[in-house]
Amino acid sequence: MPTKKATKAVLDVAVGGACGKMGERILAVLAGEAGCRLSAAIEREGHPGAGKDVSETLGGAKRGVVLGTRLAKTADVLIDFSHFSATRARLAECVKLGVPILVGTTGLEPATRAALEAAGRKIPVCVASNVSIGANLIFRLAAEAAKVLGEAYDVEIVEAHHRLKKDSPSGTALTLAQRVAAALGRDLEKERRDGRRGDVGARTRTEIGIHAVRGGDVIGDHTVHFMGLGERIEITHRASTRDTFARGAIRAACWLAGAKPGFYRIEQALGME
């Protein structure tokens, strides 16, 4: 699905974290995209599939792409869903080769985020806590609701994911909290409450609660609760398949492939602005 910003008929797409849950779905969706082809698949050092066709790890038809442990050749764009500990290495490779990078990994350390922003002076960079169109829409809706409802409504955010998710709360929940806090003029780091336990006292007027639920195979549910006296407004996004995120990632990556160096918002890359 190359967009008008891309100039090539077929884009060469590299995928970091290729054998993870998201990487696997991106490879599957890419196989059905006439305007894109997989040019490189990358995994961690020591991965048992390294040096073999990526299909030997993921199954399915041979893709003609050997699973590597670094981006060793140029591509039109890298979609990176590696573990956050590998993000700096992928970024350095992209800067060296002049490859745009879309990072969908969450749990990034502040230093890594700063390095990504700085790299925007040399290559196109986009960092997204969520790459689905629906999730990015609720970011906007939550901020608008917060502006309209104001101080009279308490804000609580609840997210649910599968039992194997390592970071908590989710990057999407944090983005929701950041958008709501900004709309209300609050300092999130002072006002956030990550769950509650024990005798914590009555809820303060300005706190923003964030709660993480883990279990089963939940792909990703997020709800923002605006609770007032006599009524409650809830804004919810539920993902039923990772293909939603894969399609969004590919759409954003195609846009990024034709962009000038810069640090872009995911809304820009998805064509929502």
* 36 Cβ contact partners less than 8 Å away, ≥ 6 residues apart: 1, 2, 10, 11, 13, 30, 250, 254
Q: Are 160 and 223 in contact (CB under 8 A)?
A: no
- Find the angle CA(172)-CA(82)-CA(25) to the nearest 5 degrees: 75
The DSSP letter of residue 121 is T
Find how far residue 105's CA is from the centre of its chain. 6
Report the C-alpha gap between 56 and 53 in whole angstroms. Answer: 6
Q: Are strands 262-264 and 124-127 parallel, antiparallel or unpaired?
A: parallel
The rounded distance, in Å, linking the Cα atoms of 188 and 157 is 13
CA triple 161-165-169, angle to 5 deg: 70
Residue 66 sits at the vertex; the CA angle it makes with 60 and 70, to the nearest 5 degrees, is 130
| Catalytically annotated residue among 21, 62, 165, 260 | 165
- Is residue 165 flagged as an active site residue? yes
The answer to whether 47 is a known catalytic residue is no
Among 5, 65, 59, CA closest to 40? 65
Instruction: Check 62, 83, 122, 161 and give the catalytic one.
Output: 161
Hey, which residues are catalytic here? 161, 165
